[in-house]
């Protein structure tokens, strides 16, 4: 009997609470944003056009949050998407579409990362045909290392983030040859050629000649 009375009291309190706020619970659309370092991120609820611009936090790259201006009633569907991506970054949004009230709260996460690009160039004067015997030519960009075995195009194994410096050096010369590098250092800067296609660094050329 006591348990039944307590249950009835709780239900009555909930009903009175809902009545006091119009009978419907409200749900905010928002969540955490990580990795944002450039301006231009816009998040929109496609279903009603509600949008917000997420600004770069201080310090740059620190975790921040976003919140759309219009809250939703219980049972309303939503479809939140990234409608503008920051220059030089790739952003992904998680749990953006659902029905308000299916969970106790709505949390839509956004993660961003700086775009990375290949660096490399063309090798000449080394050898035209691959062989089981290594040439001995090894180049590095920081901790990134590559053994070069044949003439032609090469690409360093690890991509470099936009605006970061690179510096390719020869660690060991090939047997019987001396090689030099043109355009060995610089900063990754690129123009967008088309959607999803970017301009890599491809002018770090290596020329080899017979050792004196």
Q: How high is the pLDDT of residue 17?
A: 45
**Count of structural domains within the chain:** 2
Provide the residue range defining the domain that includes 154. 116-210
Lowest-pLDDT range of 31-45, 84-98, 116-130, 192-206: 192-206
Is residue 14 in a domain? no
Domain end position, chosen among 60, 94, 114: 114
Is residue 200 in a domain? yes
Say yes or no: 47 and 58 in one domain. yes
Say yes or no: 106 and 129 in one domain. no
Say yes or no: 186 and 108 in one domain. no
Domain end position, chosen among 114, 147, 166: 114
Say yes or no: 142 and 159 in one domain. yes
Say yes or no: 86 and 141 in one domain. no
Say yes or no: 108 and 137 in one domain. no
Say yes or no: 125 and 107 in one domain. no
Say yes or no: 27 and 39 in one domain. yes
Is residue 153 in a domain? yes
Where residue 73 falls among pLDDT bands split at 50, 70, 90? very high
In the predicted structure, residue 108 carries a pLDDT above the cut 80 = yes
Domain end position, chosen among 86, 114, 142: 114
Residue 141: which CATH number?
A: 2.60.40
In the predicted structure, residue 112 carries a pLDDT above the cut 50 = yes
Say yes or no: 122 and 177 in one domain. yes
Say yes or no: 103 and 43 in one domain. yes
Is residue 110 in a domain? yes
Say yes or no: 166 and 122 in one domain. yes
The per-residue pLDDT for range 119-159, each reduced to its tens digit, is: 999 999 999 998 889 999 999 999 999 999 999 999 999 99
User: With helix as H, strand as E and coil as C, how does the chain read?
Assistant: CHHHHHHHHHHHHHHHHHHHCCCCCEECCEEEEECCCCCCEEEEECCCCEEEEECCCCCCCCCEEEECCCCEECCCEEEEEEEECCCCEEEEEECCEEECCCCCCCCCEEEEEECEECEEEEEECCCCCCCCCCCCEEEEECCEEEEECCCEEEECCCCEECCCEEEEEEEECCCCEEEEECCCEEECCCCEEECCEECCECCCCEEEEECC
């Amino acid at each position: 009997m006591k348990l039944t009375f307590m249950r009835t009291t709780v239900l009555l309190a909930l009903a009175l609470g809902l009545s006091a706020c119009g009978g419907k619970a409200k749900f905010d659309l928002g969540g955490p944003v990580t990795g944002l370092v450039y301006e231009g991120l816009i998040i929109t609820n496609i279903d009603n056009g509600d949008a917000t611009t997420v600004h770069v936090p201080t310090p740059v790259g620190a975790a921040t949050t976003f919140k759309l201006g219009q809250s939703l009633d219980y049972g309303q569907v939503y479809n939140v998407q990234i409608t503008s991506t920051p220059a030089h970054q790739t952003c992904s949004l998680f749990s953006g579409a659902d029905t308000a009230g299916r969970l106790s709260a709505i949390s839509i996460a956004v993660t961003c990362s700086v775009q990375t690009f290949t660096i490399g160039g063309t090798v000449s004067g080394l050898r035209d045909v691959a062989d089981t015997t290594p040439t001995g030519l090894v180049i590095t960009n920081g901790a990134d290392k590559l053994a070069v075995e044949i003439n032609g195009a090469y690409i360093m194994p690890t991509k470099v983030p936009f605006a970061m410096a690179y510096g390719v050096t020869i660690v060991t010369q090939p047997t019987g040859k001396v090689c030099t590098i043109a355009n060995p250092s610089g900063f990754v800067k690129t123009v967008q050629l088309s959607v999803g296609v970017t301009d890599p660094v491809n002018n770090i050329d290596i020329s080899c000649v017979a050792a004196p």
